Amino acid sequence: MSYEQVKASYDRCYKSGDFFGTFYDSFLAKSPEVAAKFANTDFKKQKPLIKASVNMMIRLGTGDIKAREAIEKVGTTHSKPQLNIEPKLYDLWFESLCETAAKHDSEWNEELESMWKERMQEGVKIITERY
């Protein structure tokens, strides 16, 4: 059940306008380390990538093979030998994602936040295991 509710929440967030602009403002402000990782990022290219990645993380728990493959690829590119995104940064990532969703989803509540966390856990685990 949580898939449909999180997907609907994500759709509301995205349709509300510049969800990922708000997200990156929040995420970059969380830590100088995060800001440094994105110092040379072209956000025009980055926003569609994170949009797809979050969508894949939401779909992951449904048994979607393509979603799993996509998240495994993210894990590889974010690993120590490539982008070197340390696992500890994913707590800040998720915190920023929830703060942003709370601002952009008029139906946001604690139960929905809990569902988001449940949906994101498997994806974060896959990504951080590849570090």
DSSP letters for 82-117: TT---TTHHHHHHHHHHHHHHHH-TT--HHHHHHHH
Which pLDDT score is estimated for 128?
A: 96
Domains and CATH numbers, the chain: 2-129 (1.10.490.10)
pLDDT average, residue stretch 113-129: 95
Question: What tens digit of pLDDT does each residue of 70-100 get?
Answer: 999 999 999 999 999 999 999 999 999 999 9
Of 83, 86, 63, nearest to 73 by C-alpha is 83
pTM: 0.91
